[in-house]
Amino acid sequence: MRFLFIPLMLLSSSVSGCSEGTRQAARGNDGWLRRVSDGALADMPDEQPRVLNEELPFRYPVSAYQTGVQGNVMLRLFVDSSGRVVPDSTRVVEPSGHGALDSAALQGVSRLQFRPARRRGIPIPVSLLFPVHFRRPGTNPLGGDSL
């Protein structure tokens, strides 16, 4: 079975206009970025993380495929400084409306591999939004599809 998966990484807006003190205060003791008062993230990476998998690890559930169910699942991932997804921190932030698709997206996350984000050449942990689109070949895009 084939399906279309469109990776898209979304990170919040830049930190322009924030003072250095505000940026430093936004980083917690655990190294994760925190939202600052204006909603921006502190210490944005110079290089975004990149998916290294040649074949993405998401599998269309057979029952959903056979019945024509399609959908988008938006996941929030935490990628550590070595490029590994922290599985216990992965969350569905926008469900597809079909539990089987949401579960399939969550199951595939553990096999994702990333080149870590970097700031000034140093690998850093980041949080990102990662959409998983389950599509049957030859069907029209759904609302919310970016490609």
Residues 112-126: tens digit of each pLDDT: 999 999 999 999 999
DSSP characters over 68-81: T--EEEEEEEEE-T
CATH 1.10.3470.10 fits 44-134, yes or no: no
Q: Which residues of 88-97 are buried (b: 16+ CB within 10 A; e: fewer)?
A: eebebeeebe
Residue 122 makes CB contacts below 8 A (sequence gap 6+) with: none
The reported pLDDT for the residue numbered 142 is 72
Q: Which residues of 47-78 are buried (b: 16+ CB within 10 A; e: fewer)?
A: ebbeeeeeeeebebbeebbeeebbbbbbbebb
- pLDDT, averaged per 10 consecutive residues of the chain (147 residues), comes to 39 29 40 46 81 94 93 95 92 95 95 95 94 86 65
Torsion of CA 93, 112, 82, 122, to 10 degrees: -70
Q: What is the pTM of this model?
A: 0.68
